[in-house]
Amino acid sequence: MKKDLHPSNYRLVVFKDMSNDYAFLTKSCVDTKETITWEDGNEYPLVKLEISHTSHPFYTGKMKLVDTAGRIDKFRSRYNKK
C-alpha cells in the first residue's frame, strides 16, 4: 500500500443540523474552528449543517412551503398586459 494515503487528522466530530438542532457524533477529518460539549462531557469539533436526514423532505416526507408570491405577481403582471 502507498504510504500517507489516509488523512492523519481522523477524529470524532459532532455534526449539527441547524434547522432542527439534531446532532450526531461520528468520525471525520473535516477542518473546523468551532467546538461543542457533547453529552458525554467531552469537547469535540463542531460542523454546522443546513440540512440532514432529519430535516430533508425526501426522508421526512414533508415538503417545505416556499414563499412564491413575488414570482406569481411577476408572472401575472407580465401576462395581464396581453
Residue 15 CA from chain centroid, whole number:
8
The answer, as to whether pTM is greater than 0.85, is no
Residue partners of 30: CB distance under 8 A and separation at least 6: 13, 45, 47
Mean predicted confidence (pLDDT) in 41-70:
73
Whether the CB-CB separation of 59 and 45 falls below 8 Å is answered with no
Grid cell locating 51 = 440540512
Cβ contact 47:36 at 8 Å: no
pLDDT one-digit tens code per residue, 10-35: 899 999 988 888 899 999 999 999 99
Contact 47, 30 (CB under 8 A): yes
